[in-house]
């Protein structure tokens, strides 16, 4: 990969930060040690990751969540570079896609894996297709693949992606009984030496993933187990997205908390004070020598 020094990160307020407990390094150390590079966002003049995060292509509502989601620190921990082929699976309403697309536009490639058009989550596919049509200056170069575990899954040829990213999705795959198929497919599409970055709402240790997934939370040990079963090696964990205020026990699961606030006005101030969920941030590697 072509490397250039990462510029200084944004001065974001870390609402749910904390000391990292990595295998390789803390998120902060990874941020300083991992090299980024040059890319050209549609509007920022000389893009790097921080510039893509700060860019005008992002909605004010999305930027307001940076204090909880830590996009610069998270993506830097995963080792993103602007000339990579990156696959983002189940992008939802495109919170991270809005950052990734301009960052990778000049030198790299972004593919998103969205649900099938006739599946139970078809609305998420349509959401992204609408975004792509309405904002071609940001999303026109983004490729679309099908990712609807347990099936259908069609992410393209094996061993063609440098970095796979999944944000807060594993609980849905568990509910759909497709987590093993999902992680196997992500393993297959990665090049040898490629990285899988996982952010997921974290349940308490020792809990039953099949039950906690219904509330949006998953035990960290279970995520690691299914990734390792697929062939991945765990090479790093960061606590940049830890939230000590979240006790994982809410009337409407993780959706009780921001940004959903499913209970409406009921106890809203308390849930806003808690902030977004406590999340694991895990970095896996596909064994082998990069080609």
Residue at 45 is within a domain: yes
Domain range enclosing 82: 27-285
In tens, the pLDDT along 104-131 reads 999 999 999 999 998 888 998 999 999 9
Residue at 15 is within a domain: no
CATH number at residue 102: 3.40.50.150
Both tokens assigned to 85: 């082929």
In tens, the pLDDT along 198-210 reads 999 999 999 999 9
Distance (Å, rounded) from C-alpha 99 to C-alpha 95? Answer: 7
Both tokens assigned to 36: 């980024």
Residue at 22 is within a domain: no
Residue at 252 is within a domain: yes
- Rounded to two decimals, the pTM is 0.84
Q: What is the 3-state secondary structure (H, E, C) of 79-124?
A: CCCCCCEEEEECCCCCCCHHHHHHHHCCCCEEEEEECCCCCCCHHH
pLDDT band at 13 (very low <50, low <70, confident <90, very high): very low
Q: Collapse the DSSP code of 43 into the 3-class scheme (helix H, G, I; strand E, B; otherwise coil) and give the result.
A: coil
In tens, the pLDDT along 210-223 reads 999 999 999 999 99
DSSP H or E stretch at residue 68: helix 66-69
Total structural domains within the chain: 1
Q: At what angle do helices 220-230 and 179-189 cross, to 10 degrees?
A: 50
pLDDT of residue 24: 37
Residue at 4 is within a domain: no
């Amino acid at each position: 990969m072509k490397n250039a020094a990462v510029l200084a990160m944004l001065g974001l307020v870390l609402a749910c930060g904390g000391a990292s407990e990595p295998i390789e390094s803390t998120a902060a150390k990874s941020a300083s040690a991992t090299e980024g590079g040059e890319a050209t966002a549609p509007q920022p003049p000389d893009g790097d990751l921080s510039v893509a995060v700060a860019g005008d292509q992002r909605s004010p509502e999305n930027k307001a969540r940076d204090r909880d989601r830590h996009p610069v620190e998270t993506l830097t921990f995963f080792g993103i570079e602007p000339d990579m082929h990156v696959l983002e699976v189940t992008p939802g309403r495109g919170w991270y896609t809005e950052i990734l697309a301009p960052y990778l536009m000049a030198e790299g490639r972004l593919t998103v894996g969205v649900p099938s058009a006739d599946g139970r989550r078809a609305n998420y596919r349509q959401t992204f297709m609408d975004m792509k049509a309405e904002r071609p200056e940001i999303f026109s170069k983004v490729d679309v693949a099908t990712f609807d575990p347990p099936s259908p899954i069609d992410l393209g040829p094996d061993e063609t992606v440098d970095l796979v990213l999944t944000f807060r999705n594993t609980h849905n795959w568990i509910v759909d009984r497709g987590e093993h198929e999902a992680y196997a497919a992500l393993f297959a599409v990665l090049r040898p030496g490629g990285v899988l970055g996982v952010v997921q709402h974290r349940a308490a240790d020792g809990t039953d993933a099949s039950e906690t997934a219904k509330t949006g939370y998953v035990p960290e040990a279970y995520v690691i187990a299914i990734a390792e079963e697929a062939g991945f090696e765990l090479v790093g964990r960061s606590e940049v997205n830890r939230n000590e205020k979240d006790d994982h026990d809410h009337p409407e699961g993780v959706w009780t908390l921001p940004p959903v606030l499913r209970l409406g006005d009921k106890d809203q101030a308390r849930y806003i004070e808690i902030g977004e969920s406590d999340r694991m941030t895990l970095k896996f590697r596909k064994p082998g020598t990069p080609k």
